[in-house]
Amino acid sequence: MTRLNGKTAVITGGATGIGLAAAKRFVEEGAFVFIYGRRQAALDAAVAELGANARAVTGSVSDPADLERLFTAVKAERGTLDILFANAGAGSQLALGKITGAHIDETFDTNVKGTIFTVQAALPLMGSGGSIILTGSSAGTTGAPGMSAYSASKAAVRNLARTWAEDLKGTGIRVNVLSPGATATDLAKDALGEEGQRAFAAMTPLQRMAEPSEIGAAAAFLASSDSSFMTASEVAVDGGLAQL
């Protein structure tokens, strides 16, 4: 498993959950990984787990100055960037009729503005053969009750990949979307509780939630040359949730 040997990767939201699972898989496959997030303690714990081929940078995807620090650190140590996994995301439940401007701003600042700013900041370090992976969601296709802002933001992410594939013509850089369904991260399990987890499992054709490592494996595929003829695509790793 050396598909990413010698590659340099950045994973936003990389300290926990899907981001950390992807970081583990990338390192296992030979990549040098920078993880990025807002919580220093979580980043430190993740780097301790990932080992010598990982670095951590603290910051927010919605702050261009923080992102500049991230990619300055990448350039200083590695020179160039091969893989960007724009994974950082946010979302909370608020029913139609109670949606506020602050709720919309919180969601879109991370999921849409943050994704745009992250990719723009990374592009000067990327060249032909580079892979950009955006984290979507099954909710971007199906919608989810009480999740108007989140679902709309993930639908926007799906369209960003289509638009950027056009913008990146001739560069050799690919951009694809990885859309998980319900995934058994620690955060999701705490938020859903046992009853919520059972409900999502029942809705999913495979009758269970995904393990974070399964999403990380799909991210490694999109990061590698195994997906070299894919751009503007969406890879749904959702147990069939949004497919039927």
Active site residues: 150, 154
Inter-residue contact 165 to 133 (CB < 8 Å) = no
Q: How far apart are CA 18 and CA 21, in angstroms?
A: 5
To which residue do tokens 């701003």 refer?
105
Positive/negative CA dihedral, 6, 7, 13, 18:
negative
Cα–Cα distances (Å) from 123 to 15, 114, 183, 190, in that order, read: 22, 14, 29, 36
Give CA–CA dist 173/19, Å, rounded. 21
